[in-house]
Structure 1
């Protein structure tokens, strides 16, 4: 259901819902995208939320923000549960859909914080759905444990334990790794130039010793089945005359992706790949390179 269809439902009753939509769609999308990792599913969840409100008596809802957070969180948990088998049988590595900033898109690029960076989204994928829900509600949206417990249907003590487990997955994540600083932009630009020119010496100076290269083709585009780990292995692949031939031939643009400058590759105007880099905590080397080739994860981007 799109926005126009939503607005056509019971026009007289929809006016209050339209106001809620304008006020809270950013919050709803923020929860859904971080939970699901896909733009299209997040947008569907947002539309379903407000469509569900049409015709409902919301007079008894004392805290609409808490109501929306609870509804959206549980909807996302259900979606993740039903899609678990699809994720488990996914061909190769599953990476989140990138958000490419195009002008003013308040739903998608609001809350320009570390918690929307691509590295952060990848980190969230290491958690179980329940861990992710509790972690986001506490660490990003700053809910009290009592509110989290009511939202996810767990006791407060259980939520504390779940958060502790979730934080184990977040230990290696560094907020500074994705901050869009001038130093980061310079390093990423140097990396792209070295990659385009097969410059092994330059790449050697730019990659961390334990760098990881992760590609996602979804079985539709040729990509490595597993991450390539270690500077020597990544270096061999990046400088191989047989690897990434098409990527080097496509039109490249430096674009804001998930709040940081990254790379978008196009062929005749069609987005063919998005490449995101994660830096070390000191922002002096590249620690992760993520390349999304799967067309299903790029078709929402129009540049």
Structure 2
């Protein structure tokens, strides 16, 4: 009440782009892939083994519940809303979902990892939607009705199960893992240094590299293997080495072997094929035939990474040609 709040169409548009669209697209990613994979929530399902990313996001979401609840109990809506925005944008969208994209959909092969993602994401989304309902009542209602199976804008809302009548999320300290949160923050600091290195040296992330050396570090203190594997995937390297000397810094082995070059060409081909799938409006489950430009890099890529290309694009046939073309095998 003592502070002036600027409001305009321009300010509202900034918030829409910076938060609402990111939140909505995160929700749509979950719903769209869950429909494709035929996943439905099971109350109290504990069968899926949580991966390190799932454990981390559950910890972060419970920390969020605690912080937002305390802020609103103290009538501090600003602190509460900013905490929700940071969580959705920085933690949920730009880290958890981005690092989990290859765990779901028709091209994902690990059913246990897939189940763990869906169960975790559903729990987290349900909690965040309820936390955000005082700030975005209509969008929260739409998401809540769909996530809980209560109804939708097409079938009609079930007032009895409205998000505004739902129980406020409860803080579960058993899900809070402060050491893991600190280790993930440390990992993301290394990732930031790695991305900066690649940018300065003009090495695109799509180009795999042989190794990463992290100086000034003895490695991760908890769940070392899983966190190291996560670091490998994020920075697209085959090996991570730690050297406990000096300040925190990173260095890459930038020597490119024929295999590393071929892998990059394969990933470039996958990206272009996925672009054509999107242009043609194909479903995520549609099988395709592919004709690719008959160049030397493409030949090497297909020879060495045919399985990867087929799996990630749902291509049943790969044949050389003059230009990149795809045909749907939809019946």
Larger RCO: 1 or 2 (CA < 8 Å, sep 6+) = 1
Query: Quick check: which has more Rg, 1 or 2?
Result: 2
User: Do both share a fold (TM > 0.5)?
Assistant: no
TM-score (norm 2): 0.26
Bigger share in strand: 1
TM-score (norm 1): 0.27
Bigger share in helix: 2
